[in-house]
Structure 1
Amino acid sequence: MLFLSLFMMEKDSLNVLILAAGLGTRLRPLTNDMPKPLVPVVDASILDLQARKARAIGNIRLHANAHYLADQVVAAGEKLGFEKVWVELPEILGTAGPLKRIYNEGYRGGLLIMNGDAYCNFDLTAFVRNAQALAAQPNGPQVALLAVDFPKVNTFRVGPDGRLAGVVGRFGSEEGMPATFSGVSWYSDEALSRIRDGEFDIREFWKQEMAAGRAPFVDMKQLHAIWIDMGSPEGLMAAVEARLKELGRNVNEAVVEPGVKLPAGVTIKHSVIYAGAEIQPGEKIENEIRGRGFKWKIN
């Protein structure tokens, strides 16, 4: 009976993988001592915020991968109640590698992928339900990719059937509806089984699926949802503004990391202050991000 109940749980629970293995090079020196998914955004890290959004789906098991400063991600995962943080050493396994690794370890129930460096307000429940419903149809797509409209990128090309027609500069057609991949995707167990062992680039898997007549579905229903790549100083500030707005606070207010002591007479507006920032008494700070060893002016 115990075996049966565990089996049923395995089948019914959706697995969620938050990708958190990146090096965070665009945010250094802020990320010299802290992995990017753990950078505070007002009141919580992106890893925490993504986990909260995933839990809103319902019956899930949370996973993350880790490489750079992996011990910190593992500790955060334990605190946040993750099923497992999959450490990738000595090399990062790309995007396809972590997916196949989870499948090979016996996890079933489908897999939702999220990024550990993106602030967003997607309706993940609607996305997953739509993906699962399409996959259940005869010859239905076993992979779904959530798209946004971001003209600076928009490398996706989507055919009239709603499926991926190509990725500009990589493969397939350069004609069709333009869109940008949000980093959020869903894979059925059947699709995961087809990822090759040792595969790193998930785009190669999409290409293989297209060649086999199984092109991924591209969900275009949330094109204008909030989606912010917080991998740069400008992106981090945009994420802070979005979080303040979500909390019902003024987007121009100062965000000071707990424990930071400000000198007398300092005034701060539309800025973020992290531990170790150098601040002079009486200084006026506006449109900046500061921390140990850096001062970023944000236009």
Structure 2
Amino acid sequence: MRSTPDALMLFAAGLGTRMKELTLHRPKPLLEVAGRPLLDHALDLPRTAGIGRIVANVHYHADQILTHLAGTGVLVSDETDLLLETGGGLRKALPLLGPGPVFTLNTDAVWTGPNVLTSLSQAWDGGRMSALLALVPREAALGYTGAGDFALAPDGRIRRGTGYVYTGAQILDPAGIETIPDPVFSLNLLWNRILAEGSAYGVVHPGGWCDVGRPECISLAEGLLSDAAR
């Protein structure tokens, strides 16, 4: 079993309902930001971080994502029969990902600055961590409308709270996920266990991040990328 993660779960199966009419005929991961699909922006991260295995789940307009991924070497976990959410989706993909801790990455965000997956890998300590989440301060979370997700302690441990926003990138040890009885569930259920054990940690991303979950966020993300390019 590996202690340093070298496999990534890419969440690409969601319905994208917050995008309204933009996702009536295509999946959110294929919506374009600065002329490129969100899926390609996401794939840049594991490729430049040198992650050896990438698995994407598919459900909504799965045929379009399959066509887009053809020939890329990305493995596919098929959820066309039932959308499993993040927890159920990760559990189904584990045979493709292999044993041990894995990266997970959402596809509905854009990033600037250091590669967040490299930062996670450098900060990961499997001896004391079961989860390491990439965070940004609430005030730096472009496109995000909530109060925050977590509070961050000086030793790096996290708890539910405000102040920091989960960016959709993490390293997670999925041990115990097989004991969750629900076929469809959020990774929040596994996080709750890890938080209670005191082995959930956070690392703050020093660059830019934009949540691309709503139509108006596309222009915000394009502005972020344009500013970074200058």
Which TM-score band (shorter chain)? 0.7 to 0.9
Residues 111-139 of structure 1 show CA distances to partners (whole Å, capped at 9, x for unaligned) of 111111111125221221211xx21x3xx
* Whole-angstrom distance in 2 between the partners of 1:240 and 1:159: 33
Shift of 1:207: 1.2
Match of 1:27 among 19, 24, 28: 19
User: Which structure shows the bigger proportion of residues in helix conformation?
Assistant: 2
Does structure 1 residue 64 correspond to structure 2 residue 48? no
SS of 2:188's equivalent in the other structure is helix
Whole-Å separation in 1 of the counterparts to 2:227 and 2:97: 41
Is 1:116 equivalent to 2:107 in the alignment?
yes
Higher alpha-carbon Rg = 1
Question: Contact (CA 8 Å) 1:164, 1:218: kept in 2 or not?
Answer: yes
**Match of 1:216?**
200
**Superposition deviation, residue 26 in structure 1:** 2.3
Q: C-alpha distance in 2, partners of 1:226/1:60?
A: 25
Q: Does 1:200 align with 2:193?
A: no
With CA pairs under 8 Å and 6+ residues apart, which has the higher RCO, 1 or 2?
Answer: 2
The whole-number CA distance in structure 2 between the counterparts of 1:214 and 1:199 is 25
Pick aligned residue for 1:241 from 215, 223, 226: 223
Q: Distance in 1 between the 2:51 and 2:22 partners? A: 35
Aligned residues: 219
Mapping 1:78-157, distance limit 5 Å? 78-82=70-74, 84-105=75-96, 107-108=98-99, 110-121=101-112, 122-123=114-115, 124-131=117-124, 134-135=125-126, 137=127, 140-151=128-139, 152-157=146-151
Deviations 1:34-59 (A, max 9, x none): 11111122231111111112111114
CA offsets 1:202-245 (integer angstroms, 9 cap, x no match): 1111111233x24311113x2x4211111212211111223334
Q: Specify the code of the residue in structure 1 equivalent to 2:201.
A: F
> If the length of structure 2 is used for normalisation, what is the TM-score?
0.84
Conserved in 1, the CA contact under 8 Å of 2:152 and 2:202?
yes
What one-letter code is carried by the residue in structure 1 that aligns with 2:132? A
Q: Sequence identity, in percent? A: 26
Once superposed, what is the RMSD of the aligned Cα atoms?
A: 2.4
What amino acid sits opposite 1:186 in the alignment? I
Amino acid paired to 1:158: L
Preserved CA contact (<8 Å) 2:55 2:97: no
Per-residue deviation at 1:68? 0.9
Give the counterpart letter for 2:209 in structure 1.
W
Where does 1:152-231 land on structure 2 (aligned, <5 Å)? Answer: 152-165=146-159, 167-168=160-161, 178-187=163-172, 191-195=173-177, 196-197=179-180, 198=183, 200-211=185-196, 213-220=197-204, 222=205, 224-231=206-213
Return the offset for 1:102.
2.2
